[in-house]
Structure 1
Amino acid sequence: MYLGAASGTTVSHVSDIVGPEGLVYAVEFSHRSGRDLLNVAKKRTNIIPIIEDARHPHKYRMLVGMVDVIFADVAQPDQTRIVALNAHNFLRNGGHFVISIKANCIDSTAAPEAVFASEVKKMSSENMKPQEQLTLEPYERDHAVVVGIYRPPPKQKK
């Protein structure tokens, strides 16, 4: 699952990686970018374009099965919450997540390191276990990528 698919350029690379046996659910909110994404998906049968707000996974739950990975590039102040909502709905236990964090999109007044630390703490509170954090310097300023594993609590027996 790719949250923040934009026009589909990076999604097309993920499509190549997963190959014809895999699927990429590509979620994009912008109708303008979504038009380009739809055109990319016409040429790649393993991309399922979803033009919808990733804050509301219930709106596309009928289209999406359980996924192995969530890649998120949404650049929103509540992006960790957005990823967590989708993880709780679609990410299998032990599945991985990759979150691109643009510090200025979350809090332009705080030091980037403080923003990254705060987001990692939020992930941990959502059963998302960060494994690695990399800054993207010198290629991008104030950006980091966090990779981790989703470990929801066991379901209670009734």
Structure 2
Amino acid sequence: MQPLEFSNGTVFSEGRHIYTISAAPGHRVYGERTPVVDGKEYREWNPNRSKLAAYIANGGKVLPIGKCSNVLYLGASSGTTPSHVSDMASEGKVYCVEFAPRMFRELVGNCSPRPNMMPILADATKPSEYQFVVGSADVVYEDVAQKNQADILADNMEVFGARYGMVAVKARSEDVAEAPKAVFRRAEERLKERGMRILDARSLEPFEDSHEMIVVEKA
């Protein structure tokens, strides 16, 4: 397996397959393959099940999550992608915010073997609800399917002092009638208005329809 060009040193490729080094060997989250190479357990990362993996599979090169990063993950769902973020930030923390109680129950179970993953039942549009738990973050990652996705990211970055942000913009959640490209451009412009510099903006098709990953740095 050869490492991709990411500084965290935990994302690897083998042909078209993507892997992270498991931070919790022996534990699968969604039935993923876990080959062992040179004594290390790797977890195959399915881009059809993860927008962040789709971004990497589509050539995304800006991944500001390092080994010691504290990551605020908004819209953690059951914890599939957050578990791979947990692998990358193996010496940091991954604060997993999820609003839906049913998904939160699954998230709690997936966090249990991973001491660096912290499940938080809260609304991502109200960072004051979990500010006392998180304190600060280096990176905010957002996968929240609702309106004003750019502002949700910017608000959380400001509250938690994050330098970097990633948001998987779902066009249909912003406006079902408007062309996705117009939605994406508006989200990018809004992030610039909020003091962000766009580091990368990349379609997630064919893995995710009408989605774009935007990576930003606080200017």
TM-score under structure 2 normalisation? 0.65
Instruction: Report the structure, 1 or 2, having the larger helix content.
Output: 1
Measured against aligned partners, the alpha-carbon deviations of 1:94-139 in whole angstroms (never above 9, x if no partner) come to x211110111111111111100000111111111221111011222
Alignment of 1:53-64 (within 5 A): 53-64=123-134
Q: Within 5 Å, give how 1:70-85 maps onto structure 2.
A: 70-85=140-155
Matched with 1:12 is 83
5+ residue gaps, structure 2, are 1-71
* Structure 1 alignment gaps of length 5 or more: 152-158
Does residue 140 of the first structure (1) align with residue 140 of the second (2)? no
DSSP-derived class of the 1:120 partner: helix
In the alignment, structure 1 residue 96 sits paired with structure 2 residue 164: yes
Alpha-carbon deviations, 1:22-73, whole Å to 9, x = none?
1001101111100111111211110111100011111111101221111100
Q: How many angstroms apart in 1 are the aligned matches of 2:209 and 2:107? A: 27
Report if the CA contact (8 A) 1:28-1:52 is conserved. yes
1:140, CA displacement in angstroms? 2.1
Output the CA distance in 1 between the equivalents of 2:87 and 2:205. Answer: 27
> Residue 165 of structure 2 aligns to a residue in which SS?
strand
| Matched residue count | 148
Structural mapping, 1:14-33, within 5 Å: 14-19=85-90, 21-33=91-103
Instruction: Answer whether contact 1:91 1:150 (CA < 8 A) is retained.
Output: no
> Partner of 2:138: helix, strand, or coil?
strand
Contact 1:129–1:150 (Cα < 8 Å) also in 2? yes
Q: Measure the CA separation in 1 of the matches of 2:206 and 2:110.
A: 30
Distance 1:56 1:47 in 2: 20
Q: Which entry has the higher C-alpha Rg, 1 or 2?
A: 2
**Higher RCO structure, 1 or 2 (CA under 8 Å, sep 6+):** 1
**Matched residues in 1 for 2:96 and 2:188: separation?**
24
Percent sequence identity is 40
| Between 22-31 and 83-92, the greater mean CA deviation after superposition | 83-92
